[in-house]
Structure 1
Amino acid sequence: MKNILFIEHSQSDKTDIAQQLSEQGYSVHQVNNAFDALINMETMELEAILLDFSVPKMDSFWLLIARQTRTPIIVLADSNSDIERINALELGADDYLAKPLNIRELQLRLNVLHRREQPQINNKNIDHIRFDDTCYTISFAGKSLVLTQTEYRLFVYLYERKGEVVTKEELQQRVLHKELGRFDRNLDMHISNTRRKLVKRNLPRELINTVRGQGYSFSF
């Protein structure tokens, strides 16, 4: 299911926009502040981020400036002000929609942004990955990526099991060599850092997929 992060001022369980998106097959995760938004951005595979401009400006502006993700952001606003639209785009938004929204238009814009974000990489080049165990470097698609020792071992382990879902418990035991605690986020942190490095090298972060409720998988 496609995950949508919805940053809005309301704290209700399900707004009209979230409900309509859910009916279109999206899984909508609602937050009302930048801190919770960043946590979701780091731990989930997101199709897009919807940012309601009714959220206090300090939070919403900071989020747009500080974001470290290539996930598309669509700003939702109560007016169709040219100044507000330009400010949103200058701050890093990928698109802008004024309320009241037409849910069909929103869905079409989400589809356009999704197509735009697909990495243009030759699959024949990416299928062959070279590993350097001495300096924890992976090379493919004509690029090299230097990882930490733990990130490297996680990447290699998932690559060797590509196409399979590897549970967090297995990764924790086989790679981190310890039991997975109930509130242990070390594994998620290493995966998140690896994805961020992939993005910085203009490589697809989706090589490492989150399988919700199960674990992670490696996929070309």
Structure 2
Amino acid sequence: MFNILLVDDEVKITEVIKAYLDKEGYNTFIAHDGQKALELFTQEEFDLVILDRMLPDISGEEICKRIRETSLVHIIMLTAKTEDDDKIDGFNLGCDDYVCKPFNVKELVLRIKAVFRKIEKEEIIKVGDEIEVNTLSHEVKIRGTEVSLTNTEYKILLLLVNNQKKIFTREELLELVTEDHYEKFDRIIDVHIKNLRQKIEEDTKKPKIIQTVYGVGYKFGL
């Protein structure tokens, strides 16, 4: 379930928007002023912020700026200002999209759905500070440094990361990650594992990420 922070001082607007978002199955938190919005943002993990530009205490621009100091969360700004310069200022501060008041709530919901479709496609899998895998771009970072993996190495790592409690035999790994018929002998997996370890392990003699289960196969070690 996606968490949404809705920030607007107009109570009726927030009630209507929340009703639509609840119907879509989203978990919506409401703040009617900037201070409450910042408090909620530090207390919860949000996937999207819908932020009114004009608030009674702290401006939407200032809230956007503060959020961007610590987070890349998607921000949709609600505004009654329609001038191009105003929108440019908002984008420069870090908002991702603009919806001008008055607006059709159904259109807003469609934009929100589009954001979450993008988030799902750009899923990033993290394991502590050790591993970060972008399943859309296939980019892999190990301890914060991007590493270049072959297609088979990437498949092995992703399979182990997604199945952290499972021990895979060589035969299982072979069937799951290799396609070319000439690689269909189980010891080729040992070669791929060796090459992968050289790229991701701090000490290949004492591997922590990919561990050998003697007599069985391999497992994720973190």
Match of 2:75 among 54, 73, 76: 73
Q: Deviations over 1:49-103 (max 9, x none)?
A: 1111231474322211111222111001124322221121111101001122222
Between Structure 1 and Structure 2, how many residues are aligned? 136
Structure 1 26/140 Cα, relative in aligned 2: closer, same or farther at 3 Å? closer
Would the aligned equivalents of 1:7 and 1:32 in 2 still touch at CA under 8 Å? Answer: yes
2:39 pairs with 1:48:
no
* Counterpart amino acid of residue 143 in structure 1: I
Pairwise mapping of residues 48-197 of structure 1 onto structure 2 (< 5 A)?
A: 48-56=48-56, 58-67=58-67, 68-118=70-120, 119=122, 138-141=129-132, 142-144=141-143
State the shift of 1:45 in Å: 2.8
* Alpha-carbon distance between aligned partners in 1 of 2:18 and 2:65, rounded to the nearest angstrom: 25
* Counterpart amino acid of residue 143 in structure 2: S
Would the aligned equivalents of 2:4 and 2:26 in 1 still touch at CA under 8 Å? Answer: yes
* Alpha-carbon distance between aligned partners in 2 of 1:56 and 1:91, rounded to the nearest angstrom: 20
* Counterpart amino acid of residue 26 in structure 1: Y
Would the aligned equivalents of 2:7 and 2:33 in 1 still touch at CA under 8 Å? Answer: yes
Would the aligned equivalents of 1:33 and 1:55 in 2 still touch at CA under 8 Å? Answer: yes
SS of 2:42's equivalent? helix
Higher RCO by CA contacts (8 Å cutoff, separation 6 or greater):
1
Structure 2 unaligned regions, length at least 5? 133-140, 145-160, 166-222
State the shift of 1:14 in Å: 5.1
SS of 1:46's equivalent? coil
* Alpha-carbon distance between aligned partners in 1 of 2:92 and 2:19, rounded to the nearest angstrom: 30
State the shift of 1:144 in Å: 1.3
* Alpha-carbon distance between aligned partners in 1 of 2:87 and 2:95, rounded to the nearest angstrom: 9
Structure 1 unaligned regions, length at least 5? 130-136, 146-158, 164-220
Would the aligned equivalents of 1:41 and 1:69 in 2 still touch at CA under 8 Å? Answer: no
* Counterpart amino acid of residue 65 in structure 2: I
Would the aligned equivalents of 2:33 and 2:57 in 1 still touch at CA under 8 Å? Answer: no
* Alpha-carbon distance between aligned partners in 1 of 2:39 and 2:57, rounded to the nearest angstrom: 19
* Alpha-carbon distance between aligned partners in 2 of 1:61 and 1:25, rounded to the nearest angstrom: 28
* Alpha-carbon distance between aligned partners in 2 of 1:11 and 1:110, rounded to the nearest angstrom: 20
* Alpha-carbon distance between aligned partners in 1 of 2:60 and 2:37, rounded to the nearest angstrom: 10
Answer with 111-120 or 50-59: which moved more: 111-120
* Counterpart amino acid of residue 51 in structure 2: L
SS of 1:40's equivalent? helix
Would the aligned equivalents of 2:6 and 2:14 in 1 still touch at CA under 8 Å? Answer: no
